[in-house]
């Protein structure tokens, strides 16, 4: 009996696969925005596919030290809708309004990192707080946010796992305390170089953050040896403290016995001084 398929003419080919859907759904999330813009310039059809990939497929957006807000960023900010992570550094053109547009279009953000984005002010940070419901990791280093932002953030999110407020100066000691009172899930806290006295905030952290495992308090005012010992006692999961206060040999041995590493840098010094050098 002759096989009926032996002389059949196939109506579809490899080229009929849903390439556009595959690119948008499965591939775009692994690409950088500049890859998508390079693809966008290939042809008119590629332009349309690339814009769909930006809108529905791009998950991670990193922009570092780009001096001018050229067209790609306007297209990205207005079209991306599925971002999970954004990381911006030294962007002097990132205004409150541009940032607000990006945030309003991307309600699924889980990780936000802003470093030296000094043009952003209250409106931009309040927009971040407003759209922070899914946020788990937040870095605002060398940024100008204040207590109003911290309050608004607590109103919208008490599920943060990591915060990095290093070298940011506009918030107060009281504002920082109130913030930590309502963030019980924090595991990683970076307060390096903040201006306000943080000793009272450390007491709040000890009481409210039982899952804390990493703490950076280098260059912070008001931190004493007793505070480090209390942290080790009341935060059972703590394994790393980066600090500037000097510790006695007895304290160092106690911390080591608990499996806690303590990286030491003398505040205001860049010579690599350690406790043993004193």
CATH number at residue 244: 3.80.10.10
- CB atoms under 10 Å from CB of 38, counted, come to 13
Asked if residue 135 and residue 102 are part of one domain, the reply reads yes
In the chain, the number of structural domains is 2
DSSP structure class, residue 8:
P
- Quote helix, strand, coil % in the chain, to nearest 5: 45, 15, 45
The domain of 43 spans 18-58
The model's confidence at residue 12, banded by pLDDT at 50, 70 and 90, is low
Average pLDDT over residues 235-251: 93
- The answer to the question of residue 273 being in a domain is no
Asked if residue 156 and residue 32 are part of one domain, the reply reads no
Compare 264 and 8 and report the one with higher pLDDT: 264
- The answer to the question of residue 29 being in a domain is yes
Global pTM reads 0.83
241: phi then psi, degrees, rounded to nearest 5: -125, 120
The chain-wide mean pLDDT, for the chain, equals 86
- The pLDDT value recorded for residue 104 is 96
Average pLDDT over residues 49-69: 80
Q: Domain boundary at 37, 58, 79, which? A: 58
Select from 156, 150, 265 the least CA-distant residue to 204. Answer: 150
Between the CA of residue 32 and those of 83, 222, 226, 250, what are the distances in Å?
A: 12, 43, 47, 50
Q: Domain boundary at 26, 58, 90, which? A: 58
Tens-digit pLDDT profile for residues 139-189: 999 999 999 999 999 999 999 999 999 999 999 999 999 999 999 999 999
């Amino acid at each position: 009996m002759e096989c009926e398929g032996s002389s059949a003419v196939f109506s579809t080919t490899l080229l009929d696969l849903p390439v556009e859907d595959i690119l948008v759904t499965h591939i775009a999330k692994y690409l950088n925005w500049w890859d998508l813009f390079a693809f966008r310039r290939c042809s008119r059809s590629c332009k349309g596919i690339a814009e769909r990939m930006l809108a529905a497929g791009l998950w991670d957006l990193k922009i570092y030290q780009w001096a001018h807000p050229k067209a790609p960023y306007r297209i990205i900010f207005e079209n991306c809708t599925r971002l999970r992570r954004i990381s911006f550094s030294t962007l002097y053109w990132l205004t409150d309004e541009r940032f607000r547009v990006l945030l309003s279009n991307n309600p699924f953000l889980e990780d936000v990192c802003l470093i030296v984005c000094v043009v952003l002010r209250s409106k931009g940070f309040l927009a971040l707080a407003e759209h922070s419901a899914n946020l788990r990791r937040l870095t605002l280093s060398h940024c100008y946010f204040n207590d109003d932002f911290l309050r608004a953030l607590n109103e919208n999110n008490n599920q943060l796992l990591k915060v990095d407020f290093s070298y940011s100066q506009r918030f107060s000691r009281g504002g920082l305390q109130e913030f930590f009172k309502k963030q019980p899930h924090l595991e990683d806290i970076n307060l390096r170089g903040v201006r306000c006295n943080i000793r009272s905030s450390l007491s709040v952290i000890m009481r409210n953050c039982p899952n804390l495992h990493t703490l950076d308090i280098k260059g912070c005012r008001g931190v004493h040896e007793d505070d480090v010992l209390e942290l080790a006692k009341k935060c059972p999961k703590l394994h790393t403290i980066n600090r500037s206060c000097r510790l006695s040999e007895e304290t160092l041995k106690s911390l080591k016995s608990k499996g806690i590493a303590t990286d030491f840098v003398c505040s205001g010094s860049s010579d690599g001084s350690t406790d043993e050098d004193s």
